[in-house]
Amino acid sequence: MFRASASLDQSRTRRCLAYSLLWMVFACFFVKSSASAAEAPKEHEVKAAFLVNFAKFVEWPSDAFAEDKSAVVIGIIGDDPFGDSLPRMVKGQTTKQRDIEIRRFDAGEDPQGCQVLFLSRSLGPKTTEVLARVQGRPVLTVGETEDFVRQGGVIGFAIVDQSVRFDIHLKVAQDARLKISSKLLAVARSVIKAP
């Protein structure tokens, strides 16, 4: 009897948990689906998520941060294509016990003090200029143009079969003293090692 009731208790709590989980999942799904229902899943939403995630698979040298606890700054240079999706992603997120901040730079501005720098498609030919500007600095440059990686960027988004993928230029990253997690490398579409 006791055992049965114990197992009953257990199964009850488990069922409770399962219900709440289901509810959470359902809520998530509902929220998500309501969002996607409002506006179809946008390429930039995915990219924004990726941008945040990149920070989690990259290690910066210690001098990249002003202080031990200073936040990881994601800089956006050029026109911000993410709208409110990036701030939404960042909100409450941390990586390596650091907060994540978003800073926007103008195309001509020197993107100082950021660890991740997204180079907007809007930069156009100025992209190489910006890259040259941050070269040697521990900044993870992320672009969305076709030949961004060949131009000297670290990670370049690409659209493959209607899904967002990316290439990584390892050499550039090493030059920038960035350690890219092998896991990240494993999911990249291509990893360029030669200069």
> Taking CB under 8 A as the rule, does residue 88 contact other proteins?
no
Binding letters toward other proteins, positions 97-116, x by CB under 8 A: --------------------
Residue for token digits 């920038």?
A: 176
Identity (one letter) of the amino acid at 115? Q
Phi-psi region at 162: left, alpha or beta (left = phi > 0; alpha = psi -120 to 50): left
Query: Residue 100's beta-bridge partner residues?
Result: 72
Phi-psi region at 51: left, alpha or beta (left = phi > 0; alpha = psi -120 to 50): alpha
Binding letters toward other proteins, positions 127-166, x by CB under 8 A: ------------------------------------xxxx
> Taking CB under 8 A as the rule, does residue 50 contact other proteins?
yes
Report d(CA 169, CA 146) in Å as an integer.
13
Report d(CA 173, CA 153) in Å as an integer.
8
Phi-psi region at 170: left, alpha or beta (left = phi > 0; alpha = psi -120 to 50): alpha
Q: Which of 57, 99, 107, 158 binds other proteins (CB under 8 A)?
A: 57
> Taking CB under 8 A as the rule, does residue 14 contact other proteins?
yes
Report d(CA 104, CA 134) in Å as an integer.
15
> Taking CB under 8 A as the rule, does residue 184 contact other proteins?
yes
> Taking CB under 8 A as the rule, does residue 12 contact other proteins?
no
How many residues bind other proteins, per CB under 8 A?
26
Name the minimum Å distance from CB 186 to other proteins: 6
17 vs 66 by CB, closer to other proteins: 17
Binding residues for other proteins (CB under 8 A): 13-14, 17, 21, 25, 28-29, 32, 46, 50, 53, 56-57, 93-96, 163-166, 181, 183-184, 186-187
